[in-house]
Amino acid sequence: MKISKYYRFVPMILGLVLVGYFYGYKYIYKNNDHFFKNKIQTKIIKVMNYENKSLQFYYDNEYCITTTNTRGDTLKVGDSISKEHNTKSFDVYRVKNGSYKFFKSYNINK
């Protein structure tokens, strides 16, 4: 009789697993796939810091570059990024004296 009490939690657990799977697919896989496959030449429009655990640099309303390096030199709002399609590396240009100058190259593992 006691085992049947726990069956009511099965749909809730299954629902949480499905939500986690679709979240991972939409926000992680699709974002990484879009970044890797496309040529990107745009500016950073928003930076989000999640409790000093990860930084997300949005270059579009939907797509971002995510890093766990929250210390040191990072991207800033207004930085220009340039990346060729099917590559893992991109160049960052920062405004200095009114024009964009090369700042740093980054390489992201897919």
Taking only the tens place, the pLDDT of each residue in 9-28 is 888 888 988 888 877 777 77
Domain span at residue 93 reads 2-107
Q: What's the one-letter identity of residue 47? A: V
- pTM for this predicted structure: 0.71
Total of domains in the chain: 1
Taking only the tens place, the pLDDT of each residue in 51-93 is 777 888 899 988 888 887 767 667 889 999 999 999 989 999 9
- CB atoms near residue 80 (< 10 Å): 18
What is the distance between the alpha carbons of residues 108 and 38, in angstroms, rounded to a whole number? 14
Going from the C-alpha of 101 to that of each of 28, 32, 75, 80, 91, the distances in angstroms are 31, 27, 14, 9, 11
